[in-house]
Amino acid sequence: MTQAASPDAPAPSWSIDPADVARFSAIAAEWWDPRGKFAPLHVFNPCRLAFIREQAVARFERDPNGRAPFEGLTLLDIGCGGGLLSEPMARLGFAVTAIDASERNIKTAATHASEQGLEIAYRPATAEQLLAEGAGPFDVVLTMEVIEHVADPGEFLRTCSRLLKPGGLMIVATLNRTLKALALAKIGAEYVLRWVPPGTHDWKQFLKPDELRAFLAGEPVQMQGPFGVTYNPLTGRWSRSSDSDINYMMTVTKA
């Protein structure tokens, strides 16, 4: 299967959705504006970071109170956008490689990291490209709010898992394909609250946890979850929850 290349995309790769690449490229300069179009991600980030840190501490038996608890470990951030996760991961000691199909996103991320004095290996690329090049493998692979934007989520997730080291940890975050998610994450977030631009998500591309498990059924990995995440409008904060009907995360480990 082939696709027309986006002007911001690297060499064509069949898990990429050119329309989504173009959509995020158009607003790339706003990644680090906490009141801009990515404001919801800035609010969401503390919850995501806490989960990643908690899971990595347990998996690699690290001291959570250390200054750089994950020093010596490698991390790949797939679909890194402007680097909202890549930068805190680098501060925690990971040697971070971060990729995105949008060259504009990568330029924004690299510029911001340089201003912060952080060394992050940013490049415009896809997971398929890295695998074909023999890159990695990595101790940790992050694919956060990315899989619902690709053309072939099963192939994408399998590719990501093959970039993981034996003993490694992968974390996947996405949206559940439920009527509740349609009402709140699609219609409510895009057209009522205007948290994200209309058209950012396609509800038909949301994925159920059992579908993620099925994608990796033939791979030498184990998947745990879902771990639900919910938003409290009274506090304006996201937190872990037993409710995975809208947002959720899954962990993948390789023996």
pLDDT digits (tens, 9 = 90+) for 148-189: 989 999 999 999 999 999 999 999 999 999 988 777 766 666
Q: What does the pLDDT read at residue 233?
A: 81
All residue ranges of the chain with pLDDT < 70 are 1-29, 185-197, 199-201, 203
Q: What does the pLDDT read at residue 182?
A: 78
Q: What does the pLDDT read at residue 201?
A: 67
Q: What does the pLDDT read at residue 2?
A: 30
Give the DSSP letter of residue 130.
H
Ramachandran area for residue 238 (φ above 0: left; ψ -120 to 50: alpha; else beta): beta
Q: What is the pLDDT of residues 111-137, one digit of tens each?
A: 999 999 999 999 999 999 999 999 989
What's the rounded Cα separation, in Å, for the pair 212 and 51?
19
Q: What does the pLDDT read at residue 240?
A: 93
Structure tokens at 161: 């898992």
Name every residue whose Cβ is closer than 8 Å to that of residue 206 and which is 6 or more positions away in sequence: 148, 174, 175, 176, 177, 178, 181, 185
What is the pTM assigned to this prediction? Answer: 0.85
For the annotated binding site, the residues are: 48, 79, 100, 144
For the annotated binding site for S-adenosyl-L-methionine, the residues are: 48, 79, 100, 144
Residue ranges covered by each domain of the chain: 18-254
Quick one: CATH architecture of 18-254? 3-Layer(aba) Sandwich (3.40)
